[in-house]
Amino acid sequence: MQLTVTGKQIDTGAVLRQHVQASLGTILGKYFKTAIEAHVVFSKEAHLTRAEVSIHIGRGIVVNASALAAETQPAFDGAAERIAKQMRRYKRRLRDHHVRVREVFEVGERTRDYVLAPLPEEGDEGPAVVAEMNTDLPNLTVGEAVMRMDLANAPVLLFRNRSHGELNIVYRRQDGNIGWIDPELDPAQRMRHGEV
């Protein structure tokens, strides 16, 4: 696994890097041995330190977590504990997904992902594109989509629903529940997918 440890206004010495590598190695060895890469970023927020951990564990599966603490090592330990908890919760489904992806390599659609600047001042034409990148549109069940959204600690996930092939969205509601947007299929599509 390729590991990157960086600090924003924080020194990430050899001892901290060794602790990060050993901790992530233990977690990944227990839950998911074939991680591709991991990024750990330490930054200052007032008098606290934030540790953000992002692990790319498989095709399209990213696990993110962060934590705040007074020191760098406890901040990382808190984020690593959250990563371990997420992986423990989804261990069986992650392993099943990993095996299924190896057996049946599903080619997902390529899409464009844009980052827009904040809304412009009055009189400007529209928001400026700050960044754009290619991304895969996954072909998932609703349960798999919720799992990926939860693992990535993302507020929303767009995916193609494997049961009927239409675009769907899952999102985290303000009340903590998960919302799911599924377009209504016309009768011809329902018959084709065996839903009538």
List pLDDT tens digits, range 38-59: 999 999 998 999 999 999 887 7
Among residues 177, 182, 175, 179, the alpha carbon closest in space to that of 160 is found at 182
Measured between alpha carbons, how far is 115 from 91 in angstroms, rounded to an integer? 32
Backbone φ, ψ for residue 176 (5° rounding): 95, -15
pLDDT for 50? 95
User: Per-residue confidence at 103, pLDDT binned at 50, 70, 90?
Assistant: very low
- Which range marks the domain in which residue 162 is found? 106-192
Residue 102 predicted with pLDDT over 50: no
Measured between alpha carbons, how far is 10 from 43 in angstroms, rounded to an integer? 6
Question: Same structural domain for residues 42 and 89?
Answer: yes
Residue 26 predicted with pLDDT over 60: yes
Last residue of a domain, one of 99, 122, 141: 99
Question: Same structural domain for residues 8 and 71?
Answer: yes
As for how many domains the chain has, the answer is: 2
Question: Same structural domain for residues 95 and 112?
Answer: no
State the pTM of this model.
0.67
Question: Same structural domain for residues 75 and 95?
Answer: yes
pLDDT tens-digit profile of 133-157? 887 888 899 999 999 898 888 899 9
More confident residue, 108 or 152: 152
pLDDT for 105? 40
Question: Same structural domain for residues 118 and 55?
Answer: no
Question: Same structural domain for residues 95 and 113?
Answer: no
142: CATH: 3.30.505.50
User: Per-residue confidence at 15, pLDDT binned at 50, 70, 90?
Assistant: very high
